Amino acid sequence: MLQRVSMTVVLTVIVGVVSLTAIKPGTALAEHSKGPFGIGIILGEPTGVDGKLFLTPSNAVEGAVAWSLSGNNNIHIQAEYLYHRYDLISVKKGQMPLFFGVGGRVIFRENAKDVIGVRIPVGLAYEFEGAPFDVFGEIVPILDLTPDTDFDLEGAIGGRFWF
């Protein structure tokens, strides 16, 4: 168990360092309409705590620590780099960006080998006008690389408060 905890800490540090290196020194975070950082929940497979940081008005890093709803004790750590298109869908109030990107995931399984895979999220968000809150839905094709090569499709909905 200590080895898994150590692996979790190492992977979390790696994701954090990679995310921070995407920010150029001396550059302010994006002037996103709701604030540069949002934290909330993601419901689906997996379900957990989600955070997103805008680096520019259209680019962000997102990550989640979550668990599987399939009746086991699997812990998911996932992160991705996302691009947002605000000009594709017009709404009367607020904004509705299409987002897509690439990232990775690690699933720590209790009684089996851990899983490492590539995530390719595609989704829509609705950013409420005049409120520091958004909701989103996403479909995520996943290519697991270890312990076996496997394709999976996951989906989720969620919401975040922005600071």
Question: What does the CA dihedral 127, 132, 135, 139 come to, rounded to 10 degrees?
Answer: 80
Q: What's the number of domains the chain is made of?
A: 1
d(CA 16, CA 51) in angstroms, rounded, equals: 12
- Residue 74: domain span: 2-162
How does pLDDT run across 10-63, given as a tens digit for each residue?
444 444 444 444 444 434 455 556 789 999 999 998 899 999 999 999 999 999
How does pLDDT run across 81-113, given as a tens digit for each residue?
999 999 999 999 999 999 999 999 999 998 889
Beta-bridge partners for 155? 139
HEC string of 21-43? HCCCCCCCCCCCCCCCEEEEEEE
Identity of the residue numbered 115:
V
pTM of the model: 0.81
Q: For residue 40, give the CATH number of its domain.
A: 2.40.160.20
